[in-house]
Structure 1
């Protein structure tokens, strides 16, 4: 696991070595063990290394024997030993023992046909000195990031946006970075910027499963080499599906344990992380080091469930409590690790738990991705219910709207229920599950944003049919409407929410502490197989991840997976009703963000007051306001 950066200025304009060195300095946390720079006229490559495999021989940039090709690579490829055998037979003479040279050889051998052969996570750049051609590639699911900017006739790229901003310096070469209002709107709507946008108008992300080629002249070419395909396979019994699930999880986890250092795991007590840790325990030669986050005194604390599972599996188990005052204090540091505003629900827990884990191991395995490929989200089931009840609710809409307009009353719980009911009705009125996906993942509603936004900002960004517009933007391609309703929602979770939010906070939170986080469920080969599973093996009544649960049961004690799983999140409603709200309010009131022209100050104060009084649950949007305030001050030094 590492960090990469580079700049291809083109046109014979030299890249200053000092600029690449500055960019590398900004991502030392991603690779504190080693670093390297390569300058070839108008091309510069930079690398920071976290040594995991081939500890002595993995220095980058790495070159082919003839010097024509160079690579900088961030990630891990777990099937490189098998690929290496094939490439040796072809004639490549390896000088190292890791995956980086294997990737380079694979590209030289197969070109873009190499990418689907790689099982793992990667964001990388390959330079062809002979053709003066640069290639950027990103893994199929978007586990590892690649940001780029096309400016001044060239392209700059990096694992984090901060590398791009560091390229400008005293050499008199500057790049532009202008806040993208659409990115700001994305953030207050979803808690993150929707990719491929970034918070900067000039910066984009390379989409998952895509490769970019750029030569000495002309525009870059971007091609897609992998996409999720929902093609149900018939003819297997329930027992056979469960056995296949058990085999895939076990073998994929085993491959993800490949390392020359100790590998641990995050354990929450739910089916996802329990499946990973149980698989690790079956393959490991020593007790698995498992790390758990707790929220003492809250309704979402799952420490006891994790303790019981860790004890059953014989793990070396370490728990870490997170109190409201601790979370408030670390908010600025968490935000600083993300480069652009981030209000992901698990950003603080992942950052805090990664800090603990990094004191013991350099690699952890995580359970992310299971909900996306096995239909585990409650919001997926809610969308299906909304679609079924839509016709009935349309008949009652006049009465229900009148209830909405009534003043809040009846206590906090009743007001929260009424707020959720209004969202459910809105979901029922939508046309399909792509639109319900966007409605279900938003952290603020259209009526909240109408009050919250400054009028001009609202008029420029908020349309009358926001979910319809988003559906056209992301799912307007041929065949998208042909998928069944559950597959529509799963596709949206897999391709939109996961790389923009879930994987983004996992990468930033772990790498902030030089910790490599691996996600076995998101091996694209496992994803390809899982998407052939029939619906009733994923969703059985109100139970999601049915086949996975049945597959894991023999590895655990009876009843281990019966408890309600709440996910890796912050207890927003409870914390914002207590002292945590003061941290958020202080971040807002003392920040230049309050004068940025995006949000109305009186509307923000009203949100705090309504939440404190129990009239509505505004925890998610208040958290977003706090994180945006931290980002604004860190970026513009407003104070």
Structure 2
């Protein structure tokens, strides 16, 4: 696991300032504290920070081919590199190291842009081919590893693992413009993150997962090109028993590949089904006890540590537990600088803490991330299927006016038993499937964002709605799958949005802040592809989600772990905002920094604060998103103001 960055002159071979490149590289020191190197040649500069995991002795980067004409900087792991080396050697390629990085340069020579189709792993890399005068950027299929880039006004292209490396670029002629993208901010307040391919800055982009970008010097910047997608066919005739046996084999293979390491290795163990399945599989493959780490909470409402301990006891793991106090909210400003753009998943705090704990004992940790998306574990999936059955009973032309009216007039009742909380159901019934699912996962739903934003900001949006992110992916799913199965649709949407923009972003930044590599066996792309062929009946049955994984793990895990209600990695925001953070929330949401943007309706901000703090409504999630946005403005935008060039007034906070 590493950090990469670089500068490429798309027009000519102008000199690259080595000091600027070094500053960009040093901004990501946390991603690779073991070694740091840069390579500069006319019109090109590559920087690399190394966290040594595989081939510690000879795996330094930037890494070159035999004649020095191809050079790569790489972040991630190619898990099947040992299988690719003999094939490439048979093609005449000579290896000087035993690293997975060297596989990339030779695979490029052998297969060109199609090399990424041969890689199994998590990766983001930049490769320069001097003979072809081509810069090639690539990102893994499920977006585990990040890659940002920006084309400057003078024709120089910047790239980096984190936005902070792009922000560190300034050479006296300017740098990345800091004007914020209103469309990205609309996405943030809807989803809690800025969705691919946008970043919060107008001039910078994220390379989408499963995409490459080949830039030839002297030619215009092309659009990224997709090389993979997941196709939900649901046509596999396999029965439950056979599917359980095959899943056990596939999971064992995925875990085994991710246990290759020359440094101490362990796993996160939350006590949930996914991480417990990974640990149980690791234990079956390891001669030594597995190192496991858990976070306990002093608030029993959020504490799963007893279930993690059950699994640890069963497999006699070297288990470490640290208790996080329920008032552990000191990370707000830290998180703002960590993510470089607004990010509103409050579980980033316990994730940061468990990575901090794990790094005391291991350098690599396996996690259970990705299981809910592929195995259909989220409770919202089952609610969506229930709504879909009701939507199917009436045409949209009837549902829209009838349920739209009911949704508007029925009171919001967060305090009431769930059976009486019908407002959301009525609102969902009045929408299309995609609109309803987007509505259900939004932090601030459409009517709330309509009230939140000022007329000035709405004018900047020009009618844009973050719903368009989901509609774009839904259209792609329809073209690929040929199925109208409602579960397949929402799984695909989450694989393209929530998994990438929220989960993978959270884990990458939190782990890299502590120089910890996290590997995700449940995101192995052959496993994801196979699961996408299985019928819905193997994933959700009645009120039980994640059916196949639970059945497959019954011989290996306690029923108390497999069949208990899902808890999640949550923090008590509602209580914080009425108690110890009451004044901080008020100061941030109603303070000068948000007001200076001119983007928010003051009266609605006052309503959010007062209604939450007097207990009449639970606005903890919207308030957290505002709190983190204000922290982003102070820590990232204002913190870099001295280095910023002139920016566009209409899109920049005042």
What TM-score, normalized by structure 2, do the two folds share? 0.92
Q: 2:561 & 2:133 partners in 1: Cα distance? A: 57
Report what 2:450 is aligned to.
Answer: 450
Separation in structure 1 between the aligned mates of residue 121 and residue 298 of structure 2, nearest angstrom? 36
State which drifts further: 377-386 or 15-24: 377-386
Report the CA distance shift for 1:487/1:75 in structure 2 as closer, same or farther (over 3 A): same
* Structure 1 partner of 2:489: 488
Secondary structure class of the residue paired with 1:201: coil
- Show the counterpart of 1:439: 439
What residue is the counterpart of 1:610 in the other structure?
A: 611
Query: Is it true that 1:364 corresponds to 2:365 in the alignment?
Result: yes
Comparing 93-102 with 278-287, which one deviates more in the overlay? Answer: 278-287
Contact 1:325 1:580 in 2 (8 A): no
* Residue from 292, 295, 300 that aligns with 1:293: 295
In the other structure, the counterpart of 2:306 is 304
Gaps of 5+ in 1: none
User: What is aligned with 2:34?
Assistant: 33
Q: Identify the residue that residue 3 of structure 1 maps to in structure 2.
A: 3
Cα separation, 1, equivalents of 2:404 and 2:204? 44
SS class of match (2:95): coil
Measure the CA separation in 2 of the matches of 1:255 and 1:233. Answer: 28
> How far off is 1:247 after superposition?
1.0
* Distance change >3 Å, CA 81–CA 183, structure 1 → 2: same
Partner of 1:379: 380
Which residue of 271, 274, 280 maps to 1:272? 274
Superposed CA deviations along residues 526-574 of structure 1, whole A, max 9, x for unmatched, are 1111111121111111211111111111112343312111222323334
- Say yes or no: does 1:562 pair with 2:580: no
Are the aligned partners of 1:5 and 1:23 in contact in 2 as well (CA < 8 Å)? yes
Q: Using the TM superposition, name which of 338-347 and 318-327 deviates more.
A: 318-327
- Rate the CA distance shift 1:208–1:400 in 2: closer, same or farther, 3 A: closer
Cα distance in 1, alignment partners of residues 471 and 304 from structure 2? 39
1:590 CA displacement: 5.2
CA distance in 1 between counterparts of 2:466 and 2:19 reads 45
- CA deviation after TM superposition for structure 1 residue 173, in Å: 4.4
Structure 1 counterpart of 2:334: 333
Matched, 1:551 2:540: no
| CA–CA separation in structure 2 for the residues paired with 1:527 and 1:104 | 27
CA–CA distance in structure 1, aligned partners of residues 155 and 628 of structure 2: 34
C-alpha contact (below 8 Å) 1:229/1:528 kept by paired residues: yes
Residue number in structure 1 paired with 2:647 = none
Counterpart-to-counterpart distance in 1, 2:465 and 2:287: 56
Preserved CA contact (<8 Å) 1:324 1:580:
no
Instruction: Pick the aligned partner of 1:254 from 253, 256, 265.
Output: 256
Equivalent position SS for 1:187: helix
The reply on whether 1:632 has 2:595 as its aligned counterpart is: no
Q: Which residue of 1 aligns with 2:644?
A: none
Alpha-carbon offset, residue 244 of structure 1: 0.5
Moved more, 629-638 or 533-542: 629-638
User: 1:3: how far off?
Assistant: 0.3
Q: Match of 1:476?
A: 475
The alpha carbon displacement at 1:612 in A equals 2.4
Q: 1:463 to 1:286 in 2, by over 3 A?
A: same
Distance 1:465 1:416, change over 3 A: farther
CA gap of 1:396–1:115, structure 2 versus 1, over 3 A, is closer
Whole-angstrom CA distance in 2 between matches of 1:399 and 1:276:
43
Are the aligned partners of 2:121 and 2:524 in contact in 1 as well (CA < 8 Å)? yes
Separation in structure 2 between the aligned mates of residue 52 and residue 187 of structure 1, nearest angstrom: 34
78-87 or 586-595, larger mean C-alpha shift = 586-595
8 Å Cα contact 1:366-1:519 kept in structure 2: yes
Question: SS where residue 598 of structure 1 aligns?
Answer: coil
CA contact (8 A) 2:373 2:494 kept: yes
* Residue 166 of structure 1: how far off its partner (Å): 1.0
Asked if structure 2 preserves the Cα contact closer than 8 Å seen for 1:408 and 1:615, the reply is no
Aligned twin of 2:315: 313
Confirm or deny that 1:523 pairs with 2:536: no
Q: CA deviation at 1:307?
A: 1.5
Range with greater deviation from structure 2 (236-245 or 440-449): 440-449
Structure 1 residues 65 and 597: CA distance shift in structure 2, 3 A: same
**Separation in 2, partners of 1:617, 1:305:** 29
Query: For 1:463-497, what per-residue CA distance to the aligned partner results, in whole angstroms no more than 9, with x for missing partners?
Result: 59763x44443333462684311111111001122
Stretch deviating more after TM superposition (586-595 or 516-525): 586-595
- 1:296 Cα offset (Å): 2.2
CA distance in 2, matches of 1:399, 1:128: 58
Distance 1:408 1:494, change over 3 A: closer
Map of 2:246 onto structure 1:
244
Which segment drifts farther, 110-119 or 487-496?
A: 110-119
Give deviations 1:7-46, integer Å, cap 9, x for gaps: 1123121111111101001000000000111111111100
Match of 1:283 in 2: 285
Distance, in Å, in 2 between the alignment partners of 1:241 and 1:591 is 57
| CA offsets 1:314-368 (integer angstroms, 9 cap, x no match) | 11222222234322x1111122110101002421111121111111111111111
Return the alpha-carbon distance in structure 2 between the equivalents of residues 555 and 500 of structure 1: 32
Contact kept? 1:30, 1:48, Cα under 8 Å: yes
CA deviation profile, 1:188-224 (whole Å, cap 9, x unmatched): 1111111101100001111111111011111233211
Structure 2 CA distance for aligned equivalents of residues 224 and 321 of structure 1: 43
- 1:326 is paired with a residue whose SS is coil
CA contact (8 A) 2:609 2:623 kept: yes
Q: Structure 1 residues 283 and 581 mapped into 2: Cα distance closer, same or farther (>3 Å)?
A: farther
**Deviation at 1:585?**
3.1
Rounded Cα–Cα distance in structure 2 between residues aligned with 1:552 and 1:272:
10
Equivalent residue, structure 2, for 1:164: 166
- Measure, in 2, the Cα distance between the counterparts of 1:524 and 1:465: 31
Report SS of the residue matched to 1:121.
strand
Distance in 2, Cα, partners of 1:227 & 1:399: 36
TM-score by length of 1: 0.94
Alpha carbons of structure 1 residues 13 and 597: separation in structure 2 relative to 1, 3 Å: same
SS in 1 for 2:159: strand
- The answer (yes or no) to whether the contact 1:435–1:470 under 8 Å persists in 2 is no
Gaps of 5+ in 2: 642-654
Deviation at 1:87, TM superposition (A): 1.4
2-structure distance, mates of 1:422, 1:19: 54
Between stretches 558-567 and 97-106, larger displacement belongs to: 558-567
The count of corresponding residues between Structure 1 and Structure 2 is: 632
Once residues 231 and 481 of structure 2 are traced to their aligned partners in structure 1, the CA distance between those partners, rounded to angstroms, is 14
Measure the CA separation in 2 of the matches of 1:103 and 1:356. Answer: 33
Distance 1:44 1:324 in 2: 46
Instruction: Quote the RMSD (CA, aligned, Å).
Output: 2.4
